[in-house]
Amino acid sequence: MTRSLSFTYLFIILAVSYLGGTLLFRELPEASVEKILILFDARVVSGSDAKLLLPVTATLLFFVLAFAFSRFKYSRFLVIFTGAIKCVLFGVSSAYLLAKGLKILEYAMWWFPFQLLICFALLLFCAVLTPPFFLKTTGRRERNNRGLITVAICAVLLIVLEYTIFFLFIK
C-alpha cells in the first residue's frame, strides 16, 4: 500500500508543478520566460539552432544538485524541491512551445513524453535519496544505492534518447 502511495505522491508533485509552470508562463513577460528557458533548455527558444552541451548539462545539474542536497541533514528538504523546480520548468517550456506554434506532432512525439519521463525519473531519484515522510523507517538504515543507480541509468538513457530524436528527426 505505501509503495503505491509513493507513486501517487510523486505524480501529484509532478502535476501541481507542471500546472504551476503553465500558470507562471501566463504571468511572466515573454522576454523573461525566454531568458529562463535559454538557460535551462535552449532548444525551446532557439529550436534547431541550439547547441547540445548546455541543455544536457542543465538537466544533469538537477540530478547532481539533488544528490548534493541529500548529503547534508539540513538541506534534505530541498531534494524534492529541486525535482519540483524541474517540473515547473517543464510546464513553462511546454506552455511556451505551444504558444509559439510548435507543431503538435513534434510536441506529442518529442517534447512532452520525454520531458514527462525525465521529470518523473528525477522525482523518483529524489524520492530514493530522501524518502517521503510516510516511507521513512526508524533507526539507521542505509540507502538503497542499487535503486539509485538504476534510476540514474534510466534517466541518462532517456536523456540520450530524447536528444537523439531531437537532433535526428526534429532538427
| Residues 16-51: tens digit of each pLDDT | 999 999 999 999 999 999 999 988 888 888 776 777
Between residues 116 and 44, which one has the greater pLDDT? 116
3-class DSSP assignment, residue 87: helix
Q: Is the pLDDT of residue 144 over 70?
A: no
The pLDDT assigned to 56 comes to 85
Between residues 5 and 42, which one has the greater pLDDT? 42
How many angstroms separate the CA atoms of 18 and 157, rounded? 23
Place of cell 508562463: 25
- The torsion angle over the Cα atoms of residues 82, 86, 87 and 88, rounded to 10 degrees, is 100
How many angstroms separate the CA atoms of 28 and 44, rounded? 16
Q: How does residue 73 score in pLDDT terms, banded at 50, 70 and 90?
A: confident
Mean pLDDT of 116-125: 94
How many angstroms separate the CA atoms of 137 and 110, rounded? 39
How many other C-beta atoms lie within 10 A of the C-beta of residue 136? 9
Say what the pTM is. Answer: 0.88
Q: Is the pLDDT of residue 64 over 90?
A: yes
How many angstroms separate the CA atoms of 82 and 29, rounded? 24
Cell of 111: 517534447
How many angstroms separate the CA atoms of 137 and 68, rounded? 22
Cell of 16: 501541481
**Count of structural domains, the chain:** 1
Domain residue limits at 66: 1-170
The answer to whether the beta carbons of residues 45 and 37 sit under 8 Å apart is yes
Q: How does residue 112 score in pLDDT terms, banded at 50, 70 and 90?
A: very high
First to last CA, the chain: 44
- Dump pLDDT digits (tens) for 90-106: 999 999 989 988 788 88
User: Which of 162, 16, 139, 135 has the alpha carbon at shortest distance from 87?
Assistant: 16
Mean pLDDT of 78-91: 94
Range from 26-35, 70-79, 135-144 carrying the lowest mean pLDDT: 135-144
The pLDDT assigned to 1 comes to 47
